[in-house]
Amino acid sequence: MSKAVTGARVLLGLVFFVFGLNFFLHFIPQPPMSGPPMTLMGALIGSGYMFTLVKVIEVVCGALLLSGRFVPLALAMLAPIVINIVLFHGFLAPSGLPVALVVLAIELFLAWSYRGAYAPMLKAKVSPSTSQPG
C-alpha cells in the first residue's frame, strides 16, 4: 500500500507543480476559452490577485507533495482548489471532467491514507492548549 500512496502523492504533486508553474512560465500551450469559462477566468485574473494566489498555492503544495514534507497540510490546502476544479469542469467545461475526477479521486485517496493527521481537527469540541511552548 505504501507504494500506491507514494505513487499517488508524486502524481498529484506533479500535476499541481507543473500546471501551477505553467501559469507563470507558459511552457504548455493552453487551448483558447470562450463563454462562461472565459468569463470566470477573466474575473479571477482580473481581480489582480486571486488566480495568482491559487497558482502559488498549487506550486508550493505540489512541491510539498513531491518532497513528502507536510503532506497533510498540502492536501488540506489543495482540497478547495480540487473541489473548484471539479465544479468548474462539471458546470462550465465538461470535456475536462474526467481528468478533474481523477484528480479528486487521488486527493481523496491520499486524504484517507493520511487520515490520522486529520483526526484531531475533526473532533466536535476541543479545548485550547494551555501549555506554553519552550
Query: pLDDT tens, 54-71?
Result: 999 999 999 999 999 999
* pTM for the structure as a whole: 0.90
Calculate the average pLDDT of the chain.
Answer: 94
Q: What is the pLDDT of residue 133?
A: 66
Is residue 116 scored above 70 in pLDDT? Answer: yes
Cell of 41: 477566468
Reported as a single tens digit per residue, the pLDDT across 2-20 is: 999 999 999 999 999 999 9
The whole-angstrom separation of Cα 93 and Cα 86 is 10
